[in-house]
Amino acid sequence: MNTQLILETYIENIIQIMTPYGSGTGFIIGDLIVTNSHVVSGMKEVVISAKKIKRSIAKVVYDDAYFDLAFISYDFETPKNPLVLSTKGVEDGDTTIAVGHPYGLNYSATEGIVSKASRIYGELEYVQIDAAINPGNSGGPLLNISGEVIGVNTFIIQNSNNLGFALPYYYVEEALKSYKILGCQNIIKCPSCKNLIDEKDIKNDYCSECGIKLEVAKLRRKGYNPTGSTKLFEEILASLDVNVTLARRSQASWRVDYGTARIEINYYENGIIIGDSKLCVIPKENISQIYDYLLEENQKLSYLRFSINENFIYLSYIIVDSSLTQKEGKTAFKRLFEKSNEYDDILINKFNATKQKRDEED
């Protein structure tokens, strides 16, 4: 199969994974989602999305820093064309396809070859490839031309020309078998003694078998706890019935869909918080009428302002973190959500503005 056909055939298996610390890729094998340990960032829960999965919270049930593997459990519908782990050996020169979400560009596939089928790095073997993989590809599947999984895209050499490395399928198979034999969830693999440890048996973050400190156990226990203005802002969102975990894009950005409107909120290092709703595209005709309307509405609005960037109409709210309060913030963002949804319809229906196109939903 060619690259495009492989992507179309197996796209339902490809998962986007998001945490407060970043995003990556995963893929379905059987009843689990496979990804890298560094993608889940020591979290017990992550946000996932896929072609047939809306943004949802899923549980990380296995975390293995040694193989850099993690398994995620979620009650998903079995894909029409399930991915399977390869049973064939990998040879130098084999054609490969890396699938993932690099830089948030969903469902990107890049083709390359196996530069070296077995490259020793540390104690483990990796498949070295020249297919372009970038941040966001981590945890995604490396496929052969038959559409079988031959590895998990794991890391790249920085500032190199397409030097990527994938954990071979046989390590994944080994980890899956070991995990399923236990028949329980919340398993951490000790990177020192290699034993699989039930999280409930871990005391003070130390391995119950060899006594080494388990960093993953510490991270899972602590979880993510925002502080300062970020904490206050997330409390404001929660008071507006926003599921903060699903809205969170990173530690300093959030996305809220309200009706037909989408609001992007970013907290910058200089202390400025900006809520932007990109509404629609200005029409080709009667532009002066829509300009007059926007200027008139700006005179009526409090907290909010219209602006035009290129040919897009925005409704925005800007505040400095030192001025953010629970009461004012709730009022302003509630108004931003409601007015964005309202104005989007008015501008399209009354002034023939064009509804904006959006890339893949995530």
Q: For 115-152, what is each residue's pLDDT tens digit?
A: 999 999 989 999 999 987 777 889 999 999 999 999 99
- pLDDT in the model for residue 131: 81
Instruction: Decide if 65 is inside a domain.
Output: yes
Q: For 202-216, what is each residue's pLDDT tens digit?
A: 999 999 999 999 999
- pLDDT in the model for residue 260: 85
Cα–Cα distance measured from residue 315 to residue 304, given in angstroms and rounded to the nearest whole number: 7
- pLDDT in the model for residue 362: 46
Same domain for 244 and 125: no
- pLDDT in the model for residue 132: 76
Cα–Cα distance measured from residue 95 to residue 311, given in angstroms and rounded to the nearest whole number: 43
Q: Which of 170, 204, 236 is the last residue of a domain?
A: 170
Instruction: Decide if 329 is inside a domain.
Output: yes
DSSP 8-state symbol, 235: H
Instruction: Decide if 186 is inside a domain.
Output: no
- Please report, for the domain that includes residue 275, its CATH number: 3.30.1460.10
Instruction: Decide if 195 is inside a domain.
Output: no
Same domain for 143 and 260: no
pLDDT at 55 over 90: yes
Range of the domain at 162: 3-170
Same domain for 144 and 14: yes
Instruction: Decide if 72 is inside a domain.
Output: yes
Residue count of the chain: 362
Q: Which of 149, 170, 191 is the last residue of a domain?
A: 170
Cα–Cα distance measured from residue 60 to residue 37, given in angstroms and rounded to the nearest whole number: 10
Same domain for 80 and 11: yes
Calculate ∠ Cα 346-350-352, nearest 5°.
105
Cα–Cα distance measured from residue 21 to residue 94, given in angstroms and rounded to the nearest whole number: 34
Same domain for 240 and 140: no
Q: For 1-13, what is each residue's pLDDT tens digit?
A: 788 999 999 999 9
Cα–Cα distance measured from residue 76 to residue 148, given in angstroms and rounded to the nearest whole number: 21
Q: What is the mean pLDDT of the chain?
A: 93
Give residue 31's pLDDT band: very low, low, confident or very high (50, 70, 90).
very high
Instruction: Decide if 192 is inside a domain.
Output: no
Same domain for 250 and 134: no
Query: Per-residue pLDDT averaged across 314-324, rounded?
Result: 96
Instruction: Decide if 201 is inside a domain.
Output: no
Same domain for 241 and 128: no
- pLDDT in the model for residue 157: 80
Cα–Cα distance measured from residue 188 to residue 185, given in angstroms and rounded to the nearest whole number: 9
How much of the chain, in percent, has pLDDT values that exceed 70?
98
Same domain for 312 and 166: no
Which helix (H) or strand (E) element contains residue 291?
Answer: helix 287-300
Same domain for 274 and 166: no
Give residue 160's pLDDT band: very low, low, confident or very high (50, 70, 90).
low
Q: What is the pTM of this model?
A: 0.92
Q: How many domains does the chain have?
A: 2
pLDDT at 159 over 70: no
Cα–Cα distance measured from residue 246 to residue 63, given in angstroms and rounded to the nearest whole number: 22
Closest CA relative to residue 261, chosen from 339, 334, 332: 339
Three-state DSSP class for residue 57: strand
Same domain for 150 and 238: no
Instruction: Decide if 204 is inside a domain.
Output: no
Which helix (H) or strand (E) element contains residue 246?
Answer: helix 244-247
Q: For 35-53, what is each residue's pLDDT tens digit?
A: 999 999 999 999 999 999 9
Q: Which of 135, 170, 205 is the last residue of a domain?
A: 170
Closest CA relative to residue 41, chosen from 170, 200, 222: 222
- Please report, for the domain that includes residue 116, its CATH number: 2.40.10.120
Same domain for 14 and 81: yes
Structure tokens at 40: 């889940």
Same domain for 165 and 232: no
How much of the chain, in percent, has pLDDT values that exceed 90?
85
